Amino acid sequence: MFLIKLNDADGDGIPFYKELELNKELEERGYSERFNPKENDMYGDYDGDGVPNSVELFIGKDPAKPDVLGIKLTVAVGFNANQTYLTQLIKGFQRASQVVYDYTDGYAMITEISIKNNVQVGSEEWESYMVRVKPESNDTLLTYHGFWYWKWVKNLPGKEGGYVLLFREFGDKTPDEYYRGIAHELGHFVFGIGDEYITHTCRYIIESREWECISYDNMTAELSKRDINFIQLPTIMNKAEKFSELSIPHNYQWFNQQLYELQNTLIQIYTDYGWDVNSWENFTTAHWEIKFQINSQGVTHTSAWEMVFDILSKDYLVSFNGVQNINAGLELDLDFNNTRDERLPFDYIPRTGPYTGVGYYLRVLYQEGSQ
């Protein structure tokens, strides 16, 4: 007991010598804030990556180096949710945080949600939240304007138009059960990644007033009728319930090769259904066709991980979907060689996990509303 007191006089759980060590690091990196051996530094965020000092130490990150993105979300609940539902909603975000931490291989997590209960759907207040939970059930979750998370972060005009739409229930699942779906939507909202369960070949159906895109489930079924086995991408942007990781360059090598080899069969199948298709490229993923800029240079045809790497890494400024020059300012070391990676390491294979229970550290701010 006596020893512990000596080493951590301020009681913030960070040993005295560690605070001095971190201060040296902060100084070297040019940050102005310092740990104070006489004061509680738990809640500070001296490297500005969005994750509090104590959380970084608990999960094995560095509080003096921007090495994990802390995502902060505001959430409006469009009905008078009871305690049980609010608990399920919070659990949903805790678990979603862990899925995001997994698919970014430890480089992003949700650090804070500000929930307001009982907000009138469609009101001006409703539209001032990044995530909106509608009172009804639905069989799909939606993101309006991928990447617009950064409009909110930068407080840009028109940010209200970009948001994540959740529902009281997704199918018959409550948020604590559909958290993988939330993590998929944050893939769109925060990182600008596109879907990998559908192609970019879509058409407008006048009768139903809906867009229809060729999906890989449909393609799988059509090909299986012809005894052809089709392999889908093993990614969370394809099937959130089944897969946990993001696509890498290698995935697209074999996936697009497969489309190329099946080109004639696919063109025949979908031409018969009235689609205007003439090349394997019509069957590539919605994500693959995303166009964005890095340091003002146009980029297209990349895997999800390459895009996420550029957004997170301080070497690049990413512009996409009307949001200019975004970068989370992090230093990534995905190959663990103690040197910051300048690009996604060649032949990078996403890690399983990490599972550090980061959801436990989610900070929840709660406000009761009245309609």
Q: Does 196 bind Zn ion (CB under 5 A)?
A: no
* Site track for Ca ion across 63-102, x = CB under 5 A: ----x----------------------------------x
Cβ-based nearer residue to Zn ion, 286 or 299:
286
351 binds Ca ion per the rule CB under 5 A: yes
Q: What share of the chain is helix, strand, coil (3-state, %, to 5)?
A: 35, 20, 45
Residue of 51, 59, 240, 344 that binds Ca ion (CB under 5 A): 51
Q: Does 10 bind Ca ion (CB under 5 A)?
A: yes
Is 331 a binder of Ca ion (CB under 5 A)?
Answer: no
Let me know: does 175 contact 166? Beta carbons within 8 Å.
yes
Binding piece for Zn ion, criterion CB under 5 A, among 71-79, 192-200, 209-217, 313-321: 192-200
Scanning 61-69, 161-169, 276-284, 309-317 for contacts with Ca ion by CB under 5 A, the matching segment is: 61-69
As a whole number of Å, the CA-based R_g of the chain is 23
For the record, the structure tokens of 30 come out as 């040019």
- Angstrom distance (rounded) from CA 335 to CA 127: 41
CA distance 316 to 310: 6
* 211: helix, strand or coil: strand
Q: Which of 195, 196, 222, 306 binds Zn ion (CB under 5 A)?
A: 195
> Quick one: CA dihedral 305, 311, 312, 314, positive or negative?
positive
Q: Which is nearer to Zn ion, 81 or 236 (CB)?
A: 236
DSSP classification of residue 281: G
CB of 168 or CB of 287, closer to Zn ion:
287
The option from Zn ion, Ca ion, none interacting with 195 (CB < 5 to 8 A, set by class) reads Zn ion
Sign of CA dihedral 340, 102, 108, 65: negative
Q: Name the residues that contact Ca ion, by CB under 5 A.
A: 10, 12, 41, 45, 47, 49, 51, 56, 61-62, 67, 102, 105, 350-351
